[in-house]
Amino acid sequence: MKISRFSKVIITVSVVGWIFIGLLLVDAVSINASNTNNQGNIYQKIKLFNEVLFKLQENYVEDIDVGALIDAAITGMLDNTDPHTVYFTPDEYENFSSSTKGEFGGLGISIDKKGDYITVVSPIEGTPAYLLGIQAGDKIIKVDDENVIGISTDEVIKKMRGDKGTKVTLTILRPGVENELEFEIIRDIIKIESIPYAFKLDNGVGYIRIRQFNANTTRELREKLDELEAQDIRGLLIDLRYNPGGLLNEAVDTVNEFIGKGKRVVFTKGRIDAANIEYITQYNRMRSGYPVVVLINEASASASEIFAGSLQDWDRGLVVGKTSFGKGSVQRLFRLSDGNGLKVTTAKYYINSGRCIHKELNDKLFKDERIRNGSITEEELVELQEDADQEHLKEIFYTENGRIVYGGGGINPDIEIEQSRITPFGVELRRNNAFFDFSVEYMLEHEQDITSDFAISDETFHKFLDFVRNEGIEYETSELDSTMTWIKNELAYNIVSRKFGLEEGYRVLIKEDIQLQEALILFDRFSSLEEMFAYASEMKVAEKK
């Protein structure tokens, strides 16, 4: 039985009454006792709620599944809160509460429900979905030709998961792309390493990529830092791009490595006293002797924003890249009866300078009816984002040493660095798995010739183009001018990864990572953080003129 939006609202009202009466009878919860008039009004509404429910149950034309109505009503009730306050079925609760354990089966994508669409938050590096070119922002509309618009996150996860080696086809809508895109992906066991890459670059700078903050992040970071410092690095670049966050205590303890003991990293503020907490570093540890640069982008969220913003607040790291996502609300997980669960937003995060990292625009967009029905244009989205960015710059705060930083949503970088975009031809090559398929064939014939510094020759490049044409992928000759270097690098990355492993392949891949390469130039231009801070200040002054 389909429940209309109007019915959903009515049922929501009745179920709230049931829930509220239950709380009164079982737990003796007070209802703002200081406000007698308001309390009396609530009692009247409770009576109305129950009256509506029982009238429906007694008189509706068809038999009613009361349990289904209650579940729908609770979900409808939560529609009037923020998008992070969520009601879980037992399966959804178990999936969510186990999501930080570090290993699971599937495709390798972090997803969230935005309106009626299951949307990719970020692909996980090195996984099947990442290698095929699934991108943040992709909306999943079909799984194996079955429409999943409007279906719960839990149901879509069940459809996407399966045994290792089996295939699943995702059909997606991508912002800026008119036609639907179809990806055939082979499932694998997804093991989540918090720090997949850590090595010394040719220019003497240490590089650490933190993928997410899970239970092992602090331990992994300490080990990697010890190894890099033993190699006498002259600087450290910490890459937090596409890091969706994770465990708060791990973010605090990793910040501890750079600012020392007894420093406030983050505090939370909510409506109830229990939600107001300060998080102070507790270990007598502090790395020093080299400048630190932190690289973020629009998909850096939550704990990664706390890490980046805290190093910025304590003047221990220069933050570069693009303004981060702005996920700064705190959720508490409650187990309910029958195995159900409730995730409730109880507070917001504030880092030491007093900045709230939560971007209210994100919550508004998640609730925007135009997002739900797909009627919003890319131009309207850009305009909304630009307005939010301007509001963001109006809130001025200060670091420990008096540098100006900005609040109001997300972490604003000290130096903004753009990332290059993949061309439509490049998107097609990734979507059709062309790099992977060609590299498999190439390895069969040339594996003995491949070295760690392997590069794609013109001859191999043209063989790849022949392969692409045979696969039915069309392109204009003019498109090759802007993509040739990128294509060669992608091919080399795929081939080297298969011969020497993902880390060696990643060393190849970042050669064409324009955002990362520009960040590394800072270490060649400046030998200390103070010089970098001065340069960043000069750039901001110049931008205002």
> Quick check: 346 and 275 in contact, CB under 8 A?
yes
Chain centroid to CA 60: 44
- DSSP per residue, 377-419: -HHHHHHHHHHHHHHHTTSEEE-TTS-EEE-SSSPPPSEE---
Interior CA angle at 466 toward 460 and 472, to 5°?
A: 140
d(Cα 321, Cα 338) in Å, to the nearest integer?
A: 46
The yes-or-no answer on residue 154 being catalytic is no
Residue among 14, 302, 353, 439 flagged as catalytic: 302
> Quick check: 395 and 404 in contact, CB under 8 A?
no
**Close Cβ partners of 79 (under 8 Å, ≥ 6 residues apart):** 367
Rg (CA), the chain: 26
Q: Given its phi and psi angles, is residue 105 left (phi above 0), alpha (psi -120 to 50 degrees) or beta? A: beta
Residue among 82, 239, 253, 313 flagged as catalytic: 313
Residue among 139, 224, 327, 359 flagged as catalytic: 327
- The SS3 of residue 258 is helix
Can you read off the two tokens belonging to residue 465?
A: 């183009």
d(Cα 168, Cα 509) in Å, to the nearest integer?
A: 27
Can you read off the two tokens belonging to residue 405?
A: 């930083």
Give bridge partners of residue 249 from the DSSP assignment. Answer: none
The yes-or-no answer on residue 488 being catalytic is no
Max distance between CA atoms of the chain, in angstroms, equals: 83
The yes-or-no answer on residue 269 being catalytic is no
Can you read off the two tokens belonging to residue 529?
A: 């953080």
How long a stretch of residues is the chain?
A: 545
d(Cα 124, Cα 191) in Å, to the nearest integer?
A: 10
Q: Which residues are catalytic?
A: 302, 313, 327
